[in-house]
Structure 1
Amino acid sequence: MSREAAEAKGPGRVYVVLVNWNGARDTVECLESLFRSEYPDFRVVVCDNDSSDGSVGHLLDWASGRTPYCAPGAVLGGLTAVPVPKPVEHSLLDGPAAEDAPCSAPLTIIRTGKNLGFAGGNNVGIRFSLRQGDCGFVWLLNNDTVVLPDTLKKLVARARSDRTIGIVGATLCFYDRPGTVQALGGASFNKYRSLSRLLGNERELARIGAAELGGVEGRLDWVSGASMLVTRRFLAEVGLMEESYFLYFEELDWALRAGERFRMGYAPGARVFHKHGAATNERKGADTSIYFRFRACIRLYRKLLPYHMPFCLYGIGRYLAVNLIKGRGSVFFPVSRALREEFF
C-alpha cells in the first residue's frame, strides 16, 4: 500500500459529537437513531452546555434503561419505534479535565460546566475525540436530528474517496416534512451581498435529479453545522471552530479559514432529518437569534473579510429596510444592539 493510500485510509473510528442544551428529549431520539448505525466503528460524545432542565439525569436514565424510551408520534417516529437494547454502556465526565480522559464506552456524556455556545460545546467534544489515538473523523451532529442506519457509512465513504475533502455534508431534510430539503449539504455564500443561500432549500427531494445532486459540490461554499463529518487532517491543519461567534457563522468561518487547502464535500445518499431551530431553542424572528446572527456576521467580516466590511453593512441595511417596509420594526432593536456593541 502506498503512503498516500495509507493516509487516505487512516484510522476509521468516528466520534459523533452532540451538543445538548435543555434538549434531552431531542437528544435521546437522536441517540436512538445513532445506535442503529450500520457503520461498525463509532463512539458518541454528548456535551451538555450547563442545561437547567435536568438533561444529564434524563440522558443517564435513558442509557441505563431506567426510563423506557417511547418513540414520538411524528412522521419519522417509526425510525426509532423499537428502542435500542439497554443499558447502553456509558461514562459521565465533568469539566475541562474530561477532555484528557480516555474514551471507555460507546457513549460519553461530558458536563461542560457552562453554556459555551455552539462552537464551544462542539470544541469540547472535538478535543476529547482528538485525544483518542483512534479518531479518524469527527461527526458534528445537531442533537435535534435523526439519521438513517446508513447515513454515517455514506458520509465516511465520501470522505475516504477524496483526500482533498475536509468536511462532508449530508442531505438535510425537515423532520416534519421528510421529503422536503432543508439543505443539500450546506450553502453558497456571496461576500458582496453578505448573503448565504441554502442549496435546494424547500424543494422536494424526489424532484431533484442525479445530475443536479452531482453538481452540488461545485456550488457548496460551507457545510451546514447540523451535520458535518470532519476529517482529522482538516482539524489538524485548520484548527477548531471559532468560539467568538457563540451562535451562527461558525461553519462559514471554518470554510474560509480552510481556503484552498480543503474542499467541502457532499454525500447525496446520506440523509439527516432536522428539527430546524430546536437545538438552540430558536424561534423564528426572536430578538436573541437576530442579535447573535448579525453580531456574528460583523465579527466574521472583521476577522476574515475586512476589506469587504462595507458589503456586510450594506446587507444589514438592506435587511432593516425590507423589514421596516413590511412593518416588522421590532428587528431594529436587536440589529442596532449588534451594531452598537461591535462598532461603538
Structure 2
Amino acid sequence: MTKSVSAVVVTYNRLELLKEVIESIQKQTYPVSHLIVVDNASEKDTQEYLESLGDSIDYLRLEENLGGAGGFNKGIRYFMEETDDDLVWVMDDDTVTHPDTVEKLINFANSEDNFSFLASDVRWTDGHRSKMNLPSAVAKLPGDGEVPEDQVEPLQLKNASFVSIMIKRSIVEKIGLPITDFFIWGDDIEYTERAARIAPGYFVPASKVTHKMASNVGSSLMNDGPNRTPRYFYSYRNRMYYVRQRNFVPKLKGLVKLYLELWQMRLAKTERKDEKLAVLKKGLRAGLTFNPVVEFAKRR
C-alpha cells in the first residue's frame, strides 16, 4: 500500500545547511508529498530564500523563536490540519538525508504495521554514529547497552531524537503534539516515549542520515562552554518532567541518574562550578512542578 509522507524541517539561522537539507529531501527515491519548513523567526536571508522556493515547499514563518520544541509543534500541527498524509517525517536543519532514507523507512512500515515511530540510523560526517542521537533500545544489549554501530536488524526503541523519525498520523491523533513549553532539549525524548506507550517504536538501521553538527560530541554541562551553560536549565527541567511520566522502575532509575549527576557536579573539579551547580539545581526544582499542557491538532 502506498503511504504518503510529509517532511517537517525546523530551522533557525543556518541557511547554507538548510539548503543542503532541502535539496536532499527533494531527491528522495520515495518522494514526499509535502515539504514543510518551519522557520523560527530567522534573519532576512533565510526568509528570502524560503520564499523564493514558492510552491515547492510549505513555508511556515513564526513571529518569534519558539525553540525546536515549538517549531516541531507547529510543523506537526500543520501536517495534521493542512494535509491528508499518512506519515510525518521530522528533522533538524542540519540533517542531510540519503537518497533512500524515506524508502527504507517505508519498506519497514509496509512489513510491520504496528508501530508508533520509526527512527533512522543517524551518523556524523565521518560515518560514525552521532553521539547526540544514540538510540536507546528496549532489549538488554551486551557491553554498555548502546546499539552497536554495525547493527543491521531493526530494534525496538525506548525513545528517539527528532533527527529523522517518522510518525503515524493515527499516533499523533492519540497523543497530541510536542510540548512547546520545553523550548529546547528533551522534547523529542518525551514525545517518542509518549508514542511508545501506544505502540512500539523501532530503529531502522537501513535508513540513514548524516547529522552535520560542528563536532561529534554529546551534551555535557560539566564540559560545555559558558555561553551554553544557561541552556541546561531546560535540559534538567524537561528531563525531570518526562522521567516523572514513566512507570515505577524506569522512573526510579531516571531519578537516581538525575541526582547522581547532581552529586557528581558537587564533587567535581570543573570551571565555573557554582554557576553550573546553580543551573542544574534550578532545573531539577522546576521540573518537580512543571506540568505543561499537551496540545492536540484539530481534525482535518
The one-letter amino acid paired with 1:186 is P
- Tell me the SS of whatever aligns to 2:181: coil
Amino acid at match of 1:321: W
Decide which of 11, 16, 27 is 1:25's aligned counterpart: 16
Letter of the structure 2 residue corresponding to residue 153 of structure 1: E
* Aligned counterparts of 1:314 and 1:341: Cα–Cα separation in 2: 17
**Structure 2 CA distance for partners of 1:239 and 1:56, relative to 1, 3 Å:** same
Q: Secondary structure at the match of 2:231?
A: helix
Per the TM alignment, residue 308 of structure 1 is displaced from its structure 2 partner at its CA by 6.9
SS class of match (1:135):
coil
Distance in structure 2 (CA, Å) of the matches to 1:163 and 1:326: 48
Alignment-derived partner of residue 281 in structure 2: 336
String of CA shifts for 1:114-173, please: whole Å, max 9, x gaps: 222222211211121222453111100111111111111111221222121111111110
- Which whole-Å CA distance do the structure 2 matches of 1:185 and 1:316 have between them? 19
Q: 1:294 to 1:188 in 2, by over 3 A?
A: farther
Is residue 110 of structure 1 aligned with residue 68 of structure 2? no
Tell me whether 1:181 sits opposite 2:120 in the alignment. Answer: no
| One of 272, 290, 299 as aligned partner of 2:241 | 299
Are residue 169 (structure 1) and residue 109 (structure 2) matched?
no
2:42 is aligned with 1:51: yes
Q: Which moved more, 1:139-148 or 1:126-135?
A: 126-135
Q: Is this contact kept in 1: 2:136–2:160, CA < 8 A?
A: yes
**What amino acid does structure 2 have at the position aligned with 1:339?**
L
Corresponding residue SS for 2:116 = strand
Match of 1:221, SS state, is strand
Structure 1: 5+ residue runs without aligned partners?
1-8, 64-89, 91-104, 191-195
Mapped contact 1:287–1:334 kept (Cα < 8 A): yes
Q: 2:257 aligns with which of 304, 315, 324?
A: 315
Ranges in structure 2 where 5+ consecutive residues have no aligned partner: 290-300
Number of residues of Structure 1 aligned to a counterpart in Structure 2: 273
Partner of 1:213: 152
Supply the distance in 2 between the matched residues of 1:26 and 1:289 (Cα, whole angstroms). 23
Secondary structure of 2:183's counterpart equals coil
Does structure 1 residue 223 correspond to structure 2 residue 223? Answer: no
CA distance in 1, matches of 2:49, 2:13: 11
Q: Quickly say closer, same or farther: Cα 1:312–1:126, change in 2 above 3 A.
A: same
Q: 1:131-170 alignment to 2 at 5 Å? A: 131-170=81-120
Q: Secondary structure at the match of 1:149?
A: coil
Superposed displacement of residue 182, structure 1: 2.0
Change (3 A) 1:150 1:310: closer
Aligned counterparts of 1:174 and 1:307: Cα–Cα separation in 2: 33
CA contact (8 A) 1:170 1:185 kept: no
Closer/same/farther in 2, CA of residues 297 and 189 from structure 1, 3 Å limit:
farther
Q: Is the 8 A contact 2:152 2:206 kept in 1?
A: no
CA contact (8 A) 2:85 2:169 kept: yes
Separation in structure 1 between the aligned mates of residue 101 and residue 180 of structure 2, nearest angstrom: 28
| Greater percentage in strand | 1
- Distance in 2 (CA, whole Å) between partners of 1:241 and 1:261 is 15
Give the stretch that moved more between structures: 46-55 or 221-230.
Answer: 46-55
**Deviations, residues 54-76 of structure 1 (Å, cap 9, x unaligned):** 42123335x3xxxxxxxxxxxxx
Give the SS at the match of 2:90. Answer: strand
Identity over aligned residues, as a percent?
21
Q: Cα distance 1:217–1:343, how it changes in 2: closer, same or farther (>3 A)?
A: closer
Structure-2 residue corresponding to 1:246: 183
- State whether structure 2 residue 58 is matched by structure 1 residue 119: no
Does structure 1 residue 288 correspond to structure 2 residue 230?
yes
Question: What CA RMSD, in Å, does the superposition of the two structures yield over aligned residues?
Answer: 3.0
